[in-house]
């Protein structure tokens, strides 16, 4: 049996003295996936909630643009598109929300978005913990934006009884 060691973000950061492109691209791709999920949800929610979801999508857009610019400045090639996993999550979430009772669809979207948003925030925090200080700086600068979205979703989830 052959043993292959896989490198995670912590190992890459140790091995690479330059900007860890795959770590940044993983964060960019996850952020793009979540932004698309926010847009998908905003298209089917009531107008007030839709406005909040569109604002969160715009905040993610700023975060994505900043990370892409940082990666380009470091000589890297940033991702421009989401992942197939994100596509699957959008379709699955849309199907589950559609299956929910009409009166609970907005709450179902809030729940799905809150879960994905929390996962993105955790992935940023884990990457920051693994990277050298100079490499983690661009990710650390994005935490206020992610925390803002986190507070929005926490407030919405609380009002939706989740």
Q: Which domains does the chain have, with CATH numbers?
A: 20-159 (1.20.1260.10)
pTM: 0.81
> Do residues 68 and 36 make contact, with C-beta atoms less than 8 angstroms apart?
no
Q: Which helix (H) or strand (E) holds 98?
A: helix 84-99
pLDDT at 85: 87
Q: pLDDT above 90 covers what percent of the chain?
A: 46
SS3 38: helix
What does each C-alpha distance from 136 to 27, 116, 120, 123, 143 come to in angstroms?
Answer: 12, 22, 15, 12, 11
SS3 80: coil
Q: Name residues whose C-beta falls within 8 Å of residue 76's C-beta, 6 or more positions apart in sequence.
A: 19, 21, 24, 25
pLDDT tens digits, 73-109: 888 999 999 888 888 888 787 777 777 766 678 888 8
> In this predicted model, which residue has the larger pLDDT, 89 or 5?
89
- The Cα–Cα gap between 60 and 62 comes to 5
Nearest one of 26, 31, 30 to 12, comparing CA atoms: 26
Q: Which helix (H) or strand (E) holds 64?
A: helix 47-73
SS3 127: helix
């Amino acid at each position: 049996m052959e043993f292959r060691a896989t490198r995670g973000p912590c190992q890459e950061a140790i091995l690479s003295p330059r900007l860890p492109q795959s770590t940044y691209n993983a964060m960019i791709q996850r952020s793009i996936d979540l932004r698309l999920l926010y847009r998908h949800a905003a298209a089917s929610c009531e107008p007030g909630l839709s406005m909040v979801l569109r604002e969160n999508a715009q905040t993610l857009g700023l975060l994505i643009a900043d990370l892409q610019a940082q990666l380009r400045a470091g000589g890297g090639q940033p991702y421009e598109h989401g992942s197939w996993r994100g596509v699957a999550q959008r379709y699955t979430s849309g199907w589950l929300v559609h299956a929910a009772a009409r009166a609970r669809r907005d709450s179902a979207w809030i729940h799905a978005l809150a879960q994905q948003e929390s996962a993105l925030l955790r992935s940023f925090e884990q990457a920051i913990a693994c990277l050298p200080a100079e490499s983690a700086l661009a990710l650390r600068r994005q935490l206020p934006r992610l925390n803002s979205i986190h507070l929005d979703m926490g407030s919405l989830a609380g009002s939706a009884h989740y």
